[in-house]
Structures are given as C-alpha cells and as structure tokens.
Amino acid sequence: MFGFAVSLTVLLAVSTIAKAPQGQPQGGGGGGRGQAVAQAPVADVSFDRLLKSAEEPQNWLMYSGSYLSQRYSALNQITTANVKDLDLKWVHQTRSTQKHEVTPLVVNGTMYLVQNVNDVVALNATTGRPIWTYSYKYDPAARNCCGNLSRGLAILGNTLFLAGYDAQMIAIDARTGRELWKTPAADPKQAYSFTVAPLVVKDKVIAGAAGGEFGVRGFIAAWDVQTGKEVWRFYTVPGSGEEGHESWSGDSWMHGGAPVWLTGSYDPDLNLTYWGTGNPSPDYDGRARLGDNLYSCAVVALDADTGKIKWHYQFSPHNEFDWDSTQIPVLADMNWLGRQRKLMLWANRNGLYYVLDRATGEFLKGAPFVKVNWLAGFDAKGRPSLTPGLEPTREGVLLYPGNQGGTNWYNPSYSPRTGTVLYSRVGKQLDHIPSREREPARVSGRTRIRRRRRNRTRRGE
C-alpha cells in the first residue's frame, strides 16, 4: 500500500480523535513547567533506527516516513478489498480554528502531534487517550502569510524537536513533555517564522525559515541535539562575496526571500541533505531584483555536517509568478536509460515534473504534468526559457499554471514496489496583472510592490 494513503489515514484519525481543554497540562508538559503525572513509553529512537525506518512500518519516525521522503509503507493489512470495512475507534479534537497540516509521529505505540499552532500532544495510539500536552506560547509578533501552523516534529533518542512558530528551536522530553532547551534562531518581529517539521541527521536537528512574503533573507540551519547550540547556517540568498551574490541587483539580496517551509530529505551514502526554496521577494515584480535571484525557487544540496553547498538546481530563475519550489524532494535509486542512478523526483509548483541526479545535480528530465504555457524549452544544462510575450504587462497576461501552481505543499509519495510517484495536481490559471506602470515602493527597509492579482488563495511562506 502506498504511503500516501497511509499518511492521509493518519491525518484523518487525528482530525476526527477526545482531549481535555486546551492549555491544561495532562501528565507533564505545560511548557515544561508542570509536574509529571503520566509518562509515555520510552522512545529511544537512535540514528540507526532513523536510517532503517523502513524496517519499522508499524512506526512513523519522521515527517516523510524516511530520509528518502517516499512516504511508502510496507503495511499490507488494509487493502482495496477491505478498506470499506474500516471503522472509527477514537476521536481527538484539537479545539483549534487554525490550519491542520501536521503529519504525526508514531513511536512504539505513542502518537506525537502538533495542534493549535505549537501545542505538542502525546496520545496513546491505540486508545486516543492523551498522555501529556506541552503548551508553547509563541511570541505574538510572529506572523505568516498563509496561516499560523506547524507541520510536525522530529525525534532522536527520547527527545522531540519542535520548530516554534516564532523562530525558536525547541527540545522536549518525549516521555514527559518537559521542555529541555529552547534556542532563538531569528527575530519574529522581522517576520521570520518556522512552519516546517524539523529533520534530524546524526547529532543535528535541521530546519529552515519562512517569511518570503515579508522580505526576510531565507536560511537553513542546524542545531546540536544535546545543547541547542547552532552548528551551521546556510543562507538561501547569498551575501557579499558568496557565490550567487551576483544574481541579485543592488542590495535586493538583503530582503530576497527564498524561504524554506517544507521538510527536506537526506542521502546517508552521500551525506547530503536536500531542501527546496521558495519565491524571491518581492514575488510578483522583479524589477527591484534583477538577475536569476539564487537560490530562490531551487533545490540546494548541502553537506549535512557543515552546511556547505555542494550543488543546486534552479527550477524557475528570476521567478515573478510566486512558484515556490519548496516541494519535498523524493529520493529513489532507479535505472535511468540503462544505468543505475541516484535520482531525485520532483513535481514542481511551476507545473513541471523533474528528474535530477541527486549526486551531481545533473538535469535529466523536465516535462509538464498540468497545462503549462510559460515554458519555451530547456538549454543543455536544464535552464528553462520563458515563452515570449508572457512577461507581466499593464493589460495582463494569461498564465498556466496559476499562483497555486501545478502542485503546492501537498506531500508526494513513491512506491519502490511499482516505481510509481503520486502527487496532487492543481493547475488553475493566473491572470497576472502587476502594476507595471508604478515604481517599487520602499517600505520598512524592504521592497513592496503595489499590484493587482486574481486567483489568490494561497501564496508561499
């Protein structure tokens, strides 16, 4: 059975499962300040277990199920023949009006999930009974373009990791809900936030910052799992003297966006971690940021120990259509044109499905999976060219796909049994009518473009 179906089943159970009133510590938790009354079973999730997570289909040890982000499960008791016989066993009510885009972790019979933005709950996965709740009161200055939310947790040993909405990395005891440490990563008053589920690699926990709609300078960082000390930081918008800095005109790099708001993947053989980046800022008018705007709308391959970039591929250079490339990299070892290769499979918001060599970043394939009219073709290295006449005009141009893209934040999955990739399609149109006759306005140190836009339901983060 595909992991895609498994993840939807888990989320449905979470959205339909009974809990005591929010904010009341149940057992331990309560921001780590309450007395422990109940305790979850020992998790003891070693790095070796994370590497071999596919061998534990009864557990779900990380956001995408495994480091390859395939969201595939070997469980086979639920089939197309008996799925109609499934029956509701318990309900947990999150008592929140906020979005729910969380993938829970399941470890040794305990389900760990995030609700009401940053409250972490441990549930008995068999009965739905709450064991403890950790309530985190984030800085009210924190904001996000597209809803207050968190997409999940990471775990190592007996420690859970929460990327707090106000750009704090937080460690929590998985047994009691007690806070162990908390490290600020950026200033929420400058519109930095975390919405991503972290990724643990060896002795580090990794996450990236959202805020691209507000002109932040995006980054990916790693923290020591024991102490919370930041170990490395990679800016997704290169600074002065860094390779790629020349792809930004003037000082536009200082507020260039390129946020990270979905969890990356990891190849232990190559020791590379892969992360997709979001739109440049400002998103719909690129006159204030001439150039390709690296590393926005791209995938970056980083050394997991140092954070140094090994390669990148930019899906949409100098993008003016809000096509974030934060989709999750699906990793698979497959035969490609008669040769066994380490591949990266990627359904992108720009409407194209890509195949890359994840060892080198070599472009192997790019083809539409929804209606696309912007692509004129690729050069030999895979750089796309824009169809003439689709540049933004005062009168407007009709563009496919729309600002929702061909796909968005929805999690893909891959079956190694059948070699099939599953992903959600959107593919609406965009009437792109920025106010090209106006000059960019400088507001609070970042560029804000006055513009008209239609079909706006979700942007990037």
Q: What is the pLDDT of residue 394?
A: 78
So what's the pLDDT on residue 446? Answer: 33
- pLDDT tens, 252-268? 999 999 999 999 999 99
Mean pLDDT rounded to a whole number for the chain: 87
Adjacency order of strands within the sheet including 363-368: 330-336, 339-347, 352-357, 363-368
**Domain coordinates in residue numbering, the chain:** 3-453
Residue 441 has pLDDT above 80, yes or no: no
pLDDT at position 454 is 37
The confidence score (pLDDT) of residue 1 equals 35
Q: Return the top range by mean pLDDT from 144-158, 347-361, 441-455.
A: 347-361
Give the active site residue among 251, 322, 357, 431.
Answer: 322
What's the average model confidence in pLDDT over 390-394?
78
Residue 322 appears among annotated catalytic residues:
yes
Evaluate if pTM is beyond 0.95: no
> Span 280-288, mean pLDDT?
91
Residue 74 neighbours by CB distance under 10 Å: 13
Kindly give, in sequence order, each residue whose CB lies less than 8 Å from that of residue 104, ignoring residues fewer than 6 positions away.
10, 11, 14, 60, 111, 112, 113, 152
- For residue 437, the tally of other CB atoms under 10 A from its CB is 7
Q: Give the residue-averaged pLDDT of 229-252.
A: 97
pLDDT at 95 over 70: yes
Hey, what amino acid is at 182?
Answer: K
**CB 399 within 8 Å of CB 429:** yes
Residue 137 has a pLDDT of: 94
pLDDT at 111: 98
For position 430, what pLDDT does the model report?
Answer: 56
Percent of the chain with pLDDT over 70: 85
- pLDDT for the residue numbered 130: 96
* Tokens (6 digits) for 266: 């990891």
User: What is residue 427's predicted lDDT score, i.e. its pLDDT?
Assistant: 62
Residue with tokens 């409407």: 351
**pLDDT tier at 428, thresholds 50, 70, 90:** low
pLDDT at 434 over 60: no
Considering the domain 3-453 in this protein, what is its CATH number? 2.140.10.10
Query: Mean pLDDT lowest for which of 25-29, 290-294, 323-327?
Result: 25-29
429: which 2 tokens?
């149109």
Q: Which contiguous run of DSSP H or E holds residue 330? A: strand 330-336
Residue 429 confidence class, pLDDT cut points 50, 70, 90? low
- pLDDT for 403 equals 82
| Cβ–Cβ under 8 Å, residues 272 and 266 | yes
Express each pLDDT in 155-207 by its tens digit: 999 999 999 999 999 999 999 999 999 999 999 999 999 999 999 999 999 99
pLDDT (tens digit, 9 = 90+) per residue, 333-370?
999 999 999 999 999 999 999 999 999 999 999 999 99
